[in-house]
Amino acid sequence: MALHTLFIAVSARAATHGIILEPFRSKKRIMSTTETKKMKAIAIDEFGGRDKLKVREFEKPEIEDDQILVRTHFAGVGVWDSGEREGIFAKMMGKDPKFPKILGTEGSGIVEKAGKGQDKFSEGDRVFGTLMPKDHDNGFYAEYSVLKTNEA
């Protein structure tokens, strides 16, 4: 299986938001058919500046029947991402955040697993999606993201 690369940002503008401009690569190659249960992600443990972004290991997310699991190939960085990292949107929406929080509202990748209750996507499909912070506890700054089928 090819080594999967996750690009966190692609534009110089992202540097002003403190996002890593280089890809990070998984240190493991999966040589067997054994499915990995862990993933790497960039997350925060509290709101704040770019110094709060940390690469961490998480359990690979599980999906429900109306969702898809996407192996992230690209995570977009927008001007709103710093607001999410600083807690501005959580305050505006009156939402109590759960930490650690994986950021990243938009991205694309390949469907690794499709929920049984949907027929819109199949494994191997290329998708783009948007995750609204008020509706999700996961994001695209991770090797895997979970989307409802109407978000892709």
Torsion of CA 31, 33, 36, 39, to 10 degrees: 60
Q: How confident is the model at residue 42, as a pLDDT?
A: 95
Q: Are 21 and 33 in contact (CB under 8 A)?
A: no
Between CA 8 and CA 77 the distance in angstroms is: 7
Q: How confident is the model at residue 87, as a pLDDT?
A: 92
What homologous superfamily is domain 5-21+39-151 in, according to CATH?
Medium-chain alcohol dehydrogenases, catalytic domain (3.90.180.10)
Between CA 21 and CA 5 the distance in angstroms is: 13
Q: Are 151 and 92 in contact (CB under 8 A)?
A: no
The domain spans of the chain are 5-21+39-151
| Nearest alpha-carbon partner for 57 in 20, 19, 27 | 27
Q: pLDDT tens digits, residue range 20-55?
A: 433 444 333 333 334 679 999 999 999 999 999 999
Residue 132 to residues 22, 36, 71, 80, 140, Cα–Cα distance (Å): 25, 27, 18, 11, 11
Q: How confident is the model at residue 35, as a pLDDT?
A: 66
- Regions of the chain short of the pLDDT cut 70: 1-35, 133-135
Between CA 33 and CA 122 the distance in angstroms is: 19
